[in-house]
Structure 1
Amino acid sequence: MTGPDFLWGVSTSAFQIEGGFDEDGRLPSVWDEFPSFEGQTARVACDHRNRHAEDVALLRELGVNAYRFSLSWPRVEGGRAAGSGSAASSGLDFYDRLVDDLLDAGIAPVATLYHWDTPAHVEEAGGWLARDTAHRLADYAATAAARLADRVAMWIPVNEPAIVTLLGYATGQHAPGKALLFDALPAAHHLNLGHGLAVQALRAAGATSVGTANNHTPAWAATGSAEDAAAASAYADLHNWLYADPVLAGRYPESLVDLLPVEDGDLATIAQPLDFYGVNYYNPTRLSAPSPGNPLPFDLVPITEHPVTGFGWPVVPAGLGEMIGALRTRHPNLPPVHVTESGCSYPHSLDDTERVDYLAAHSEAAIAAGAKGYFVWSVLDNFEWDSGYSQRFGLVHVDYATQRRTPRASFRWYRDRIRR
Structure 2
Amino acid sequence: MASDSTTASARTVLSGLDAIRSDVEDLYRDLHRHPELGLREHRTAKKAADALRYCGYDVTEGVGGTGVIGVLANGDGPVVMVRADMDALPVRERTGLPYASTATVTDDDGGGEQPVMHACGHDVHVASLVGSARLMAQHRDAWRGTFVALFQPSEEKGDGADAMVEDGLTTKAPRPDVVLAQHVLPYPAGYVGTRAGSFMSAADSLRVTVHGRGGHGSMPQATVDPVVIAAMIVVRLQTVVSRELAATTPAVVTVGSIHAGSSPNVIPDQAVLQINVRTYDDTTRSQVLDAIERIVKAECRASGAPREPEFERITSFPPTVNDEEPTRRVADAFAAYFGDDARTSGLLTASEDMSRIPQAFGVPFTYWGIGGTDPERYAEAVKKGTVAQDIPVNHSALFAPVLQPTLDTGVSAVTVAALAWLGND
Give the TM-score of the pair, scaled to structure 1.
Answer: 0.30
More strand by share: 2
Give the TM-score of the pair, scaled to structure 2.
Answer: 0.29
Q: Which is higher, the Rg of structure 1 or of structure 2? A: 2
